[in-house]
Each structure stands twice: as C-alpha cells, then as structure tokens.
Chain A
Amino acid sequence: MTEGGATIFDRVQELVAARVPVAVATIVRGDGVGSKLLVLPDGVEGEGSFANLGLGQVVETAAREALQAEKSGVHTFGTTEVFIDVHPQPPQLIVVGAVHIAQALVPLARTLGFRVVVVDARSALATRERFPDADEIVVAWPDDAFTRLEVTPKMFIAILTHDPKFDEPAILGALATDAIYIGAIGSRRTNEDRRARLLGAGVSEDQIARLRGPIGLDLGGGTPEEVALSIAAEMIAVKNGRSGGSLRQATGRIRADG
C-alpha cells in the first residue's frame, strides 16, 4: 500500500486529465485499509489486496455500476468497507463563435468542470491568445467542424456567432448530434427569423424545440460576463434536470447530487 500511494495518485490524475473514465476503490474499513484498485473501461489496475481478500471481482462490478451511475459512495462487502470514487468523463462544451461572449464563457465553463472546444472559421478570432483556457481551438466552418469533433455522451453546444451565415450551419450541425444542450444567441426577433428559416429548410418542429434561443437563463445581464453567466447557469440547470428559477420559489431538494 505504501509504495503504491504516489503511483496510484499520479495515475488517477493522469487518467482524469486524459478524460478516461475511472473509478477508484479504496478500502476504508477492515483489512488492508488504504489499498486502492482502479477500474477503467478496459481493465483494472492496482494492488493485490482486493484479490487477496477475495473481493477483486465484486468490487470491480460495483465500481463499474457506480461509474455508470456517476455516483461515489461506500459499499460494504462482508467486513470490508470500500469507498468507490468515480471520475466520469467530463461534460464537453462546444462554443461556436470565437466572439467576446465566448471569451467570458470559456473560462467560466472550464471552472465548472467542462472540457471546452472553441470553433470559428475566422483564424484571426480563434486564437490561443484570445482563448488561453480552451482545451481545443478548431479553425473551421461549423458544418465542417461538427464532423471533426469528438462526440461525447454529455455534449453542450453554445452558438454565439450572431451571424446567420455562421450560426445556421452550426445549428443544423448541432441538431444532427445528440447534444443535451443546444443554445443559440440572438434577440427574440432574431430567434423568430431563425426559426422560420429552419422550418423553411425542412427542420422539424421537434428538432427546433431542442434549440434554446434566446440562449441563457433570464438574468437580465448585458455585459459579456453577465451573458456568459446566464448561459453557464442554463447549462448547469439542464445538466441537473432543473428549470433554473430561484430556490425561494422551489420546494424540492436543493442539490441534485444530494
């Protein structure tokens, strides 16, 4: 257990950084307290203590279930208690439009745990200088970009170009994915015009209903930072299956993870 501590800690950090989903099982009560087992999509890594206790298989199964459910917690196996800590793949945000609101949204979304990709065809805007925090910057037209992006299960798309020649191909590309959040910036009027054009282009009402436009929660903000906050707040509400009003008006559980 002692020699393995540093290695396992570093290994978990490395896996999390590489966005490999991993569950870390640690014996917290019973024999072998502190021993760790890593459960990855294609195998396990770690110490023999679990196998010696005859727990290798049951802990691996429980860890895979916990990872699937994205729920960390203590599991009891006879006299051994094991804390299974899950590190699922982080949600991913695709920001289309390397504009000033994007510059405010990218660091905010990173802070909130999203992997963030910025997409824009304009190489003068989609730069590392303007987006030092972005995980990836893709210089491409949105329809092309969507075919090149890594599609992940929990994908959020914010379309911020504010220009039909960029944002409509982006919306069509976004609707072709199974993203759980697709928002597009624009006034109510822009939104109505856009809706009419999408309908005219043969997009179904059901598909258009997936589009959140105007994007964001109703916070009334106007600065890029305030708009970014309203978008990020809407993303978090969607992630947690909430509508995003004041807690004062709500009666259910405060935390979705509680």
Chain B
Amino acid sequence: MSEWLPEIDRWRQAGKRVAIATVISTEGSAPRPVGARMAVTEDGEMAGSVSGGCVENAVLLEGQDVLKTGTPRVVRYGITDEMAWDVGLACGGTIEVFVEPVDGSAHD
C-alpha cells in the first residue's frame, strides 16, 4: 500500500505544485516495494523514496518535467550495467515508477 508523505500537504499549502512518483511494479530484488512513494516540487524539493537512493535524482527530473508538461508517465529503471545505463539499481532489480501531478496537469 502507498505511503503518505506529510511534506506533500505542507508544500501544497505553501502553494507549490507537487508531482508524485509511485513504484507500480518490481522485478528481482528491488530495494523498495510496490506502493513506495516519492514526491517532488517544481523547485526540486524531494520527500520519500522509490529505490532507497539509486534513482531518486532521475525521478526528481521526471517529476519536474511532468509538472512542466502535464503528462503523467511510467518510467522504468533497470539492472545496473555500466554500458547500458547511467542510472541503475545497484542491487540488480528493475522497477517501474508512475509519475503524476498531484493537482492536475494544467500548466498554461
């Protein structure tokens, strides 16, 4: 089940736009289970975790992009293989993360 992050309410009350990333599937020994969550703001604040630190920075950029474009999306992070991936999971799992805006997607 999904985690609830108190920061989300704080940021929204402060008028910030927030994107949420939720682990929707895992393969192999992923560091965080399905339902694990991370939230980011336009300004680059982060709370929670989807991978225990491996891909959070990449997820932050996706979250900011989702806030900019208004398009929710699935992002997949895979097994570490220095040739293939800049950003990978050290423990060798694969995760899929769904990134969506909290307060709708409009950015007119």
Q: A residues within 8 Å of B by Cβ?
A: 1-6, 9, 13, 16, 24, 26, 28-29, 33-34, 70, 72-74, 83, 85-88, 255, 257-258
Contact = CB atoms under 8 A, between A and B. Distances in A.
B1 A6 contact: no
B35 interface: yes
Contacts of A258: 29, 33
B1 A87 contact: yes
Q: How large is the interface on B (under 10, 10 to 19, 20 to 34, 35 or more residues)?
A: 20 to 34
Given A2-B104, A26-B98, A28-B98, A72 B4 contact: no
B72 interface: yes
A222 B33 CA distance: 33
B10 to A, nearest CB: 13
Contacts of B29: 258
Contact of A87 (B2, B73, B101, B106): B2
Given A28-B98, A33-B72, A34-B72, A72 B105 contact: no
Contacts of A24: 2
Given A33-B73, A83-B98, A85-B35, A2 B106 contact: yes
Contacts of B87: none
Contacts of B103: 5-6, 9
Interface of B: 1-2, 4, 22, 24-25, 29, 33-35, 70-74, 96, 98, 100-106
Nearest to B105: A2
A41 to B, nearest CB: 16
A74 B27 CA distance: 13
Contacts of B1: 70, 72, 85-88
A3 to B, nearest CB: 6
A255 B104 CA distance: 34
Contact of B4 (A6, A16, A73, A255): A16
Contact of A28 (B24, B71, B104): B24
A1 B24 contact: no
A205 to B, nearest CB: 37
Contact of B101 (A5, A13, A88): A5
28 contacts: A1-B105, A2-B70, A2-B104, A2-B105, A3-B104, A5-B103, A5-B105, A9-B102, A9-B103, A13-B4, A16-B4, A26-B100, A28-B24, A28-B72, A28-B98, A33-B72, A72-B1, A72-B24, A72-B35, A73-B24, A73-B34, A74-B24, A74-B25, A74-B96, A83-B22, A85-B1, A87-B1, A88-B1
